[in-house]
Amino acid sequence: MTARALVGISGWRYPRWRGDYYPTGLAQRRELSYVAERMDSVELNGSFYSLQRPGSYRRWRSEAPPGFVFAVKGGRFITHMKRLAGVETALANFFASGVLALGPQLGPVLWQLPERQEFDEALLEHFFEQLPRSTSQALALAKRHDERLEGRAHLEIEGDTPIRHSLEVRHASFLGDRPAALLRAHGIGLVIADTAGRWVEPQAITSSLVYVRLHGSRELYTSGYTDEELDDWARRIGRWLDGTGTPDGDPRDVVVYFDNDAAGHAPFDAERLRERVRGLPAGRP
């Protein structure tokens, strides 16, 4: 199958964007639909802070066209509080909370590690082995939820489809061949993140999906991207799509999310990059 690139934003509900990116008078309930008309995908960030409800996932899905893709951010209870250890029930609760209600529009799952989380091969391997690689596996896992999800779990799927996972790291111990080899062995993507020099920025391609998060090139979460910077990212995306920029020469799917939202640059930058990607020989809307 031909590789494709999706460009979007990390979240969409920002008061600062109203009257700027969002037209004055646009109802808040219409904001996701507005984004979905102009982009390919969005990251669901609320799932990081707390377990969402099935009704929320169903509503988000209903507000976007069928081809729109939702990346889901894994819960911080798993990554930041439990630090990936003893998370069997927490993973079951996460996938039972409504993630599967996205149906065929469920995209990759993002797991963001805290800044001080060091590379621990045994811990990571055990965590990776627990991650479901398909919606049927996720359903089987979700059925093991605890009493907190009793009566509010979504336990059905609309067909068995793959689930891809990506890991965003921020500690220097994740650089080098050994961490990349572990992720590659388990088919877990290593997020390529632009963090204005705040954290490490891995470049290794470790799965069939290249997951990019653009937090700002000069000022974290705040600065916008210049035309030259977006041109450079478009060229890199093009090389991943056609395989000339991958270690084995095989094309990769690409997702890109702008998280430089503090000053409202994210949605404008996403639209500008999306236009560049759509103009690539290997680009796909």
Q: Out of 125-139, 251-265, 269-283, which region has the weakest mean confidence (pLDDT)?
A: 269-283
3-state SS, residue 69 = strand
CA angle 155, 156, 157 (to 5 degrees): 140
- Per-residue model confidence as pLDDT tens digits over 87-130: 999 999 999 999 999 999 999 999 999 999 999 999 999 999 99
pLDDT > 70: what percent of the chain?
Answer: 98
Give me the mean pLDDT over the 7-21 stretch: 96
Give me the mean pLDDT over the 187-194 stretch: 98
| pLDDT classification of 284: cutoffs 50, 70, 90 | very low
pTM of structure: 0.96
Give me the mean pLDDT over the 154-171 stretch: 97
What pLDDT score was predicted for residue 41?
98
What pLDDT score was predicted for residue 102?
98
Give the Å distances, CA to CA, from 10 to 122, 159, 257.
Answer: 30, 27, 6
What pLDDT score was predicted for residue 285?
41
Does residue 241 surpass a pLDDT of 50? yes
* φ, ψ (nearest 5 deg) of residue 129: -65, -25
Strand-pair category, 165-168 with 69-73? unpaired
Average pLDDT score over the chain: 96
What pLDDT score was predicted for residue 281?
79
DSSP 102: G
Among the CATH numbers 3.40.1010.20, 3.40.50.720, 3.20.20.410, 3.90.1300.10, which is that of 5-278? 3.20.20.410
Check: CB of residue 134 under 8 Å from CB of residue 160: yes
What pLDDT score was predicted for residue 1?
57
What pLDDT score was predicted for residue 56?
98
| pLDDT classification of 187: cutoffs 50, 70, 90 | very high
Exposure string of 195-226, with b = 16+ CB inside 10 Å and e = fewer, is bbeebeebebbbbebbbbbbbbbeebbebbbe
| pLDDT classification of 163: cutoffs 50, 70, 90 | very high
Does residue 283 surpass a pLDDT of 60? no
| pLDDT classification of 2: cutoffs 50, 70, 90 | confident
Residue 118: CA atoms inside 13 Å, Cβ hemisphere, count?
A: 2
- Per-residue model confidence as pLDDT tens digits over 39-79: 999 999 999 999 999 999 999 999 999 999 999 999 999 99
